[in-house]
Chain A
Amino acid sequence: MTARAAALAVQDVWVRAGGRDLVRGVTLDVAPGEVVGLAGPNGAGKTTLLRTLYRARRPSSGRVLLDGQDVWRMPGHWLARRMAAVLQETAGDFDLTVYDVVAMGRTPHKRAFDGDDAADRAIVAAALDRLDVTGLAYAPFDRLSGGEKQRVLIARALAQQPGTMVLDEPTNHLDLRHQLDALELVRGLGVTAVVALHDLNLAAAFCDRICVLDAGAVVAVGAPREVLTPALFADVYRVDADVAAHPETGVPQVTLRTVRGEPPA
């Protein structure tokens, strides 16, 4: 049974480390089923903010609420049954098969000594199938290409059957078709989602709202067409960019011109 899409509320979250403020007073409300893109230059605090959502980094102050429950006051498996995180893959040395990796997604739903039943196997098989990696089920995870690994990790998140998903650059290693496919998949699930994305054209096409971070603070949040303006690119990214609405869909399209302050090549 899939968890219900939940309301996610980030309330005045600060993260301090080594005398620096990595996240500075971020407040963000995500409605059930809404997809919010997280954008911003390198080092803006996107990953750190995401880590406070899936309980990897405790906020120095502020709260993260899922359906009104403070995620930091609940047990880890409570959150893992409701929220899945798709992270950058880290290298391993253990020859886990793709099936093993995806089956890990069932862990939050299990107790000690519980075996995998037919329902678990069906859920894992469906997740593999949905991400187009069924043929790799018994291949060693470590030998896959970057894009294949990314799809396997999304499949693991699906096997968790979450109502909320946190994705950190899920399209990083994917080719064009699989980029679109992955984001369409997340949209089609109807889950609440927070997605860190570098590609703002993708963000504009797939996110209900975009939240832009700079130096740890929210500098803009709203519908793509409100947020993605030449002024934002100049202020936050320090580049000149044109933004035009797509003639058919109306989705804002970003075209980069030059780096600000340098003469054109």
Chain B
Amino acid sequence: MSPRTAPAGRAEAEPLAEPARLPGRRPGLPYPLVIGLLAALLCAAVTAGIAAGSIPLPPGQVWGILAHRIHPAPADPSWSAVRETIVMDVRLPRVLLCAVVGAGLSVCGMALQALVRNPLADPMLLGVSSGATVGAVCVVVFGLTVFGAFSLPVAAFAGALAALVTVYFLARSGGRMTTVRLVLAGVATAEVLSAVAGFLVVTSSDPHKTQSALRWMLGGLAGTAWPVVWAPAGAVVLGTAVLLGVSRPLNLLLAGEEAATALGLDVHRFRAALFVLVAIMIGTIVAVSGSIGFVGLIMPHVVRLLIGADHRRALPATALLGASFLIAADLFARTLITPEEIPVGIITALVGGPFFLWLMRRRSR
């Protein structure tokens, strides 16, 4: 044991008699205000998401029904049982799942960007979502039931992890990873995996299986019921809590591998553990939502522009923003051309593609 006490007279790094002051406050909006605004945005998105649809409901009634469920008031409800069913069994689970998926993808995107130390990392861009899709499609097409009811999420997780590890090692050469290699490796892997999934779907003889497999590939949340909400909700909440716990080490990764090591982080073990965690989260998400792109790319960037890169502040904010964004995207997806639904992945890609290109140009300056 080495003593760590400071002998007297060595006070250079201690606060001096006249303590050094920082030049005022961090510029930009104060953090509590940002979080408050984002929480308000999420409330608004949830309300709009539940209120809008083929039978529009006034927002007051939405909250009346929700409040009534949580704490039944003695007064008789002023709404029909049908409306209560619409809110509780049709729209609420879907909106909650959107929130969970959006938050999860954004948090995973932020974690991946730190893990590979590259701001262009995204679950879809790195092939992770495609890997999960292949896993999910395999289960659907071949009817695999090795793990019973969990076959689909487990297969999606395995596919996600395999894709992530493949891309990571393809992008690394001689201990270095460049943006170009990472994006190329990710895009190539994603293409190959999408092709594999497409092949499996097309060659499947059962049209019902084809239909249900196609759903993964486009990404969509139609027909969400309560039972499918719980697994991703649990994975996202627990995963986000773990990521918050390791937000300091995540910050260190932004300084580079060598500096992170010198600051006491076992980079390789930490990175491996977090790859598994992210793969679990993405696998569980993709198993219910299919592949929804660009959410994990855009949200972390918007948040960093707002409040900076420190993960202790940025992770909660990106979860809130991602949840609101996907609820809004899903709202568009199902109301734009009613009664038809557009897969939500198409909406996010339409928003995200241009954003990605703008980001590439900005970075290459």
User: Do A and B truly interact?
Assistant: yes
Q: How far is the CA of A77 from the CA of B266 in the complex (A)?
A: 9
Contacts of A189 in B (CB 8 A): 10, 12-13
Give the contact stretch, choosing among B55-63, B186-194, B242-250, B324-332: B242-250
Q: Do A4 and B254 contact each other (CB < 8 Å), given the known contacts A92-B117, A99-B22?
A: no
> Whole-angstrom distance from the CB of A132 to the nearest CB of chain B?
11
> Whole-angstrom distance from the CB of A116 to the nearest CB of chain B?
9
Q: Do A100 and B251 contact each other (CB < 8 Å), given the known contacts A56-B262, A94-B309?
A: yes
Q: How far is the CA of A140 from the CA of B22 in the complex (A)?
A: 16
Q: Which of A4, A80, A92, A188 contacts B262 (CB 8 A)?
A: A80
Contacts of A110 in B (CB 8 A): 248
Task: Tell me whether A95 is interfacial, beta carbon within 8 Å.
Answer: yes
Q: How far is the CA of A100 from the CA of B117 in the complex (A)?
A: 16
Task: Tell me whether A29 is interfacial, beta carbon within 8 Å.
Answer: no
Task: Tell me whether A223 is interfacial, beta carbon within 8 Å.
Answer: no
The answer to whether B6 touches A1 (Cβ under 8 A) is yes
> Whole-angstrom distance from the CB of A125 to the nearest CB of chain B?
4
The answer to whether A80 touches B244 (Cβ under 8 A) is no
Q: Which of A56, A92, A188 contacts B12 (CB 8 A)?
A: A188
Most A CB within 10 A of own CB, among B5, B118, B309: B309
Contacts of B248 in A (CB 8 A): 107, 110, 112, 114
The answer to whether B261 touches A126 (Cβ under 8 A) is no
The answer to whether A87 touches B2 (Cβ under 8 A) is no
Task: Tell me whether A3 is interfacial, beta carbon within 8 Å.
Answer: yes
Q: How large is the interface on A (under 10, 10 to 19, 20 to 34, 35 or more residues)?
A: 35 or more
Contacts of B27 in A (CB 8 A): 138
Task: Tell me whether A104 is interfacial, beta carbon within 8 Å.
Answer: yes
The answer to whether B263 touches A125 (Cβ under 8 A) is no
Task: Tell me whether B19 is interfacial, beta carbon within 8 Å.
Answer: yes
The answer to whether B256 touches A92 (Cβ under 8 A) is yes
Q: How far is the CA of A87 from the CA of B266 in the complex (A)?
A: 17
Q: How far is the CA of A115 from the CA of B363 in the complex (A)?
A: 32
Q: Which of A3, A54, A69, A122 contacts B4 (CB 8 A)?
A: A3
Task: Tell me whether B7 is interfacial, beta carbon within 8 Å.
Answer: yes
Q: Do A104 and B22 contact each other (CB < 8 Å), given the known contacts A2-B13, A76-B266, A90-B258?
A: no
Contacts of A92 in B (CB 8 A): 117, 254-256
Contact with A along B236-275 (1 / 0, CB 8 A): 0000000011101101101110110111111000000000
Considering the complex of A and B, which 7 residue pairs feature the smallest CB-CB distances, nearest first?
A80-B264, A129-B20, A85-B262, A77-B264, A76-B264, A125-B20, A112-B245
